[in-house]
Amino acid sequence: MINVPEIFGSMVFNDSVMKERLPEDIYKSLKLSIKNGTRLSIEVGKAVANAMKEWAIEKGATHFTHWFQPMTGITAEKHDSFISPTASGGVIMDFSVNELIKGEPDASSFPSGGLRATFEARGYTAWDPTSYAFIKDGALCIPTIFCSYSGEALDKKTPLLRSIDAINKQAMRILKLFGNDDVTKIHTTVGAEQEYFLIDKKAYKKRKDLIFCGRTLYGAKPVKGQDLDDHYFGALRPRVSKFMKDLDVELWKLGVPAKTKHNEVAPAQHELAQVYTTTNTATDQNQITMETMKIVAEKHGLVCLLHEKPFAGINGSGKHNNWSIQTDTGVNLLEPGVSPQDNAQFLLFLCAVIKGVDEYADLLRISIASASNDHRLGAQEAPPAIISIFVGEELMQILEAIEKGSAYTSKGKIDIEVGVDVLPSFQRDDTDRNRTSPFAFTGNKFEFRMVGSSQSIACPNMILNTIVAQELSEFADELESAENFTDALNELLSKTIKNHKRILFDGNNYSEEWQNEAEKRGLLNLKTMIDALPYYISQKNIKLFSKNKVLSEKEVYSRYEIQMDNYCKVMHIEALTMLDMARKEILPAVNLYIGEITNIALAKKKLKEAIDNEVEIDMIEKLTSMIKEFYNKIEALSDVMENISEDMNIMDKAIYYKDYVRKAMKELRDIADKLELNTSSDFWPYPTYADILFSI
């Protein structure tokens, strides 16, 4: 029997462990430094390092590593042992304060987007004391930031931490205007819902596309997919249930509050959701979750696929990012209150989000852009690429009334004059949540549904924090200088709603009508990653990041370069994998099958009694025609790939992959999938979709 309270966080150097193992004055000093963001004294650092080492060794750790999140989107670590040689030829277990606080992993091969030259490529890690250290596979993992010698951010965590500081600073200005003198800090919170696929490892190892690309590049639609909706929320299969139980235990040990698990819509697809926590912690925990999923799956003879669209024709996987703002006194600033003043404050924060999403929709789109997510967005299973906000029926009516300065009739049929000083208390929206919306208000938080399943949530939350910080800053500037706060607030809310209501949409985001309506409203429809990325380096967005001290201009350009380069590399690997599979496996397999049919036709012809072999002849002619077309498409993709030059600039190269390579890949796949449907399963070289999706 599992004692959950006993194992939860047992491998984490968390607050309770620190309180138990550190002297009281050291503990209080550490907590104060973390809260205020001030530098630790050397005495505190030494005490923490020693306590952390002793605790880790007791837990069986022999090594330590600075655990960081480079621009690859996954985590990185370099392990060093605790051992230190002695004069007598033995060793002692040692861990200094310098080893805790700073590391020099070199890490010259990580993408930097031009932030550092090869001859000065050393990278540096620095301890992030706001995120707890933990033990994984016998190593003490110390969460850190990763930066260059000159201080530029080479990771995803540093800008996230900067954005958290930015929104805290501006939100505090607003709260002071409302008289919240007891609040000393705000933080954003996140709960990530992680979707994933589980497939049998034996099937996985037979497909180069899954091994090299994380998705199937070929595959005909099976006779049954998700048509009957019988997998969604269905009873867990025994093998999957065992995996999920082990996953829960491993995550609980690491302090990840995994709570909800269930089957998703597509066969072999599942979801795990965790309890909300601070954004920085949630980001670390989601990275831990994705890594742990893969490790636990291996132990069960399974493979966990986190690609956004591993199988064509069925739902892909996303990661709903539930984001909110909370004070250190426990008040959710995006939750309607019980008094007019509470609701006035709520509406101001709500309007800051609405304005931010409208003005910086391009950045939100960029925050979830990837070659893999391009396959998922807009596929009738995930939101389209157009950013809009769903707020629900009653809240929409309240916003319209505020804009017009007219009376609002509540659901209870009570007419109330709408002004901030007499605004009615209202319940959180109780309408059915619009699952087609990319950015939905769901009562006390916003659910950003465009995030891809394999992506780090650091970038989307960094963008959210930054754009809301910017809007709160503008609101504070206006309200702080107002002669009459209430009148100024009324006017600000009305003006904001009027100027940015175009971003509000409660209808069907999948409909063609919305595409047309969005265009009329002037909303962007950036369908692919390459359509979206140029907006990253617009002066408007560079100014936003610089003003809020989240990213410098150089850091913005580096991220633009890295994402462009990553897109090209992903497309290149996928195209080469398709060609390799086509030439070395599909062509030979189909030709063998044609040969088998030919032998049957010849055998029938040689029999003394005439036997009709017309069916075989038709099959041979059909397959021969298709294999010829398939060969031509192989050559066409090969020719397209040969036209790529290293002299092309990164933008031109990315556009070429999007417009030409992707088209040639699709044409090759289309004919390959037809060949699969017309080739005997005894000859087809790979496990089919049916084999993979229904094998567990």
Look at residue 560 and tell me if it is in a domain: no
**C-alpha torsion angle, residues 168, 171, 175, 181 (rounded to 10):** 10
pLDDT of residue 422: 44
Tens digits of residue pLDDT in 277-332: 999 999 999 999 999 999 999 999 999 999 999 999 999 999 999 999 999 999 99
Q: What is the four-CA torsion angle of 528, 633, 671, 310, rounded to 10 degrees?
A: -40
E strand spans, 227-343: 258-263, 269-274, 277-278, 302-305, 319-327
Identify whether residues 104 and 229 lie together within a single domain. Answer: no
In angstroms, how far apart are the furthest CA atoms of the chain?
A: 108
Among residues 517, 551, 585, the one where a domain terminates is 551
pLDDT at 454 over 80: yes
- Selection from 358, 348, 336, 333 nearest residue 482 by Cα: 348
pLDDT digits (tens, 9 = 90+) for 152-179: 888 999 999 999 999 999 999 999 999 9
Q: Within a domain: residue 134?
A: yes
Does one domain contain both 362 and 511?
yes
Q: Which residue has the higher pLDDT, 118 or 533?
A: 533
Residues 529 and 627 in one domain: no
Residue 375 placed within a domain: yes
| Across 398-414, average pLDDT | 72
| pLDDT of 382 strictly over 60 | yes
pLDDT score of 105: 65
Last residue in a domain, options 124, 155, 186: 155
* Pick from 100-104, 369-373, 381-385, 690-694: least confident: 100-104
Q: Do 679 and 590 contact (CB within 8 A), yes or no? A: yes
Average pLDDT, the chain: 90
| 547 φ/ψ angles, rounded to the nearest 5 degrees | -60, -40
Q: What is the CATH number of the domain that holds 407?
A: 3.30.590.10
Among candidate residues 4, 1, 2, 3, the one with its CA nearest the CA of residue 257: 4
Q: What is the pLDDT of residue 264?
A: 92
Shared domain check, 320 and 207: yes
The residue among 108, 135, 155 that closes a domain is 155
- Are residues 169 and 131 both part of a single domain? no
pLDDT surpasses 60 at 121: no
Q: Report yes or no on 476 lying in a domain.
A: yes
Percent of the chain with pLDDT over 90: 71
* pLDDT confidence of residue 548: 98
Look at residue 415 and tell me whether its pLDDT is greater than 50.
Answer: no
- Give yes or no: residues 547 and 641 share one domain: no
- Exposure pattern of 27-44 as b/e (b: 16+ CB <10 Å)? bebbeebeeeeeebeeeb
d(CA 84, CA 91): 5
pLDDT score of 68: 87
Question: Percentage of the chain with pLDDT > 70?
Answer: 92
Residue that wins the pLDDT comparison between 128 and 40: 128
Residues 6+ apart with CB under 8 A from 3: none
Using 50, 70 and 90 to split pLDDT, how confident is the model at 609? low
Any idea what the CATH number is for the domain that residue 633 is in?
A: 1.20.120.1560
- Model confidence band, residue 429 (pLDDT cutoffs 50, 70, 90): very low
pLDDT band at 118 (very low <50, low <70, confident <90, very high): very low
Q: What is the pLDDT of residue 82?
A: 87
- pTM value is 0.92
- The residue-averaged pLDDT of 232-244 equals 92
Looking at residues 336-344, what average pLDDT do you find? 76
For residue 108, name the pLDDT band (cuts at 50, 70, 90). low
Whether the Cβ atoms of residue 250 and residue 8 lie closer than 8 Å to each other: no
CATH of the domain at 29: 3.10.20.70
What pLDDT does 421 receive? Answer: 46
Instruction: Look at residue 557 and tell me if it is in a domain.
Output: no
Are 579 and 493 within one domain? no
Residue 373 in domain: yes
| Same domain, yes or no: 369 and 414 | yes
Read off the pLDDT of residues 259-275 as tens digits, 9 standing for 90 and up: 999 999 999 999 999 99
Residue 578 clears pLDDT 70, i.e. is over it: yes
Q: The domain containing residue 353 runs over which residues?
A: 164-551
Statement: residue 336 has pLDDT above 60: yes
Whether 690 has a pLDDT exceeding 80, the answer reads: yes
Q: Where residue 614 falls among pLDDT bands split at 50, 70, 90? A: confident
Measured distance CA(173)–CA(437) in Å, rounded? 31
Model confidence at 229, in pLDDT bands (50, 70, 90)? confident
Mean pLDDT computed over 195-204: 97
Q: Which of 238-252, 326-340, 423-437 has the lowest mean pLDDT?
A: 423-437
Q: Are residues 525 and 641 in the same domain?
A: no
3-state secondary structure at position 195: strand
Within a domain: residue 636?
A: yes
Please indicate, yes or no, whether residues 90 and 208 belong to a single structural domain of this protein: no
Shared-domain flag, residues 487 and 616: no
Of the listed ranges 39-48, 98-107, 160-169, the one predicted with least confidence:
98-107
**Domains of the chain: total:** 3
Is 641 contained in some domain? yes
pLDDT at 590 > cutoff 60 = yes
Q: Are residues 8 and 68 in the same domain?
A: yes
